[in-house]
Structure 1
Amino acid sequence: MIVGIGVDVVDLARFERAVGRTPALRERLFAESERDRPLRSLAGRFAAKEALMKALGDTTGIRWHDMVVTADADGDPSFRLSGAAKAIAERRGAARIHLTMSHDAGVAIAMVVAETAPETAPERGPGAGS
């Protein structure tokens, strides 16, 4: 069952200006493992974090470093949650969080779908009917 859906769009030029004016934003918004990426990728990760908070429906106590965008062996993005973000996800029953990101034509976009763990269908014994 879907717990929440979030989407966010970031204007790349505006994001680049913000990081240029305030270089400390990289450290404040992104974990060390994220920081060395190109600005368009950082903008996508920022959009992902914003989309996650929308999908969870609560931002109480969340810090930017509580949501780290990672990639699996195939390059597919996902989140590593900790702190308040992890606690909120658990409280909302969000056992699975799906993330997609893209950037093109001057914008970065991210979409997050949070869902509960798949329910196991009850086993049906002999003569259980259909």
Structure 2
Amino acid sequence: MIIGTGIDIIEVARVQKAIDRWGEDFLKHIFTAEEIAYAQKRKFPTQHYAARFAAKEAVYKAFGNNTSLSWKDMTILNDENGKPYCRLNDSAFKNKITISISHTKDYAVANAIITS
């Protein structure tokens, strides 16, 4: 059963402006060490930061008003096949979160579906 859905799109340039303005403080506020390490290994890290930002926003929207998660309470990772997934720090959460991410040089988009 679907409990919630969320979608988000962001301009990659907007994330780059935040990185330019606040630098590592911005990255450490929004992203986990694993997410930062992942993005930094990529040819265009800002696109990957933007995609993970969009995924986190989509997850927040899927929860609606029923969450007190902070940015770093969730980590957006990829499995061995490259499929993105969301890992929550809340071990009490028993539902499934399915995410999909896509990005270009200009935009990143993600959707999230929470199911029981």
* Band of TM-score, shorter chain: 0.7 to 0.9
SS in 2 for 1:50: helix
After superposition, the C-alpha distances for 1:45-81 in whole angstroms (9 at most, x for unaligned) are 0000000010011264321110101111111010110
Partner of 2:13: 13
Partner of 1:54: 61
Q: Highest Rg: 1 or 2?
A: 1
Structure 1 residues 4 and 44: CA distance shift in structure 2, 3 A: same
Dislocated runs of 4+, deviation >6 Å: none
User: Which deviates the most, 101-110 or 2-11?
Assistant: 101-110
Residues in 1 aligned to 2:56 and 2:85: alpha-carbon distance in whole angstroms: 11
Structure (1/2) with the larger helix percentage: 2
Letter in 2 for 1:2: I
Residue 44 of structure 2 corresponds to residue 43 of structure 1 = no
How many residue pairs are counted as aligned between the two chains? 109
Q: Is the 8 A contact 2:60 2:67 kept in 1?
A: no
Residues in 2 aligned to 1:73 and 1:59: alpha-carbon distance in whole angstroms: 31
SS in 1 for 2:32: coil
User: Identity, % of aligned pairs?
Assistant: 35
| Structure 1 residue ranges without an equivalent (≥5) | 117-130
Residues in 2 aligned to 1:100 and 1:49: alpha-carbon distance in whole angstroms: 11
After superposition, the C-alpha distances for 1:5-36 in whole angstroms (9 at most, x for unaligned) are 10001111111011110111100100001113
Where relative contact order (Cα < 8 A, 6+ residues apart) is larger, the structure is: 2
Residue 81 of structure 2 corresponds to residue 80 of structure 1 = no
| Structure 2 residue ranges without an equivalent (≥5) | 40-44
Provide the aligned C-alpha RMSD in A. Answer: 1.6
How far 1:108 moved relative to its partner?
A: 0.3
SS in 2 for 1:68: strand
Residues in 2 aligned to 1:25 and 1:60: alpha-carbon distance in whole angstroms: 22
TM-score norm. by structure 1 comes to: 0.78
Letter in 2 for 1:111: N
Q: Is the 8 A contact 2:51 2:103 kept in 1?
A: yes
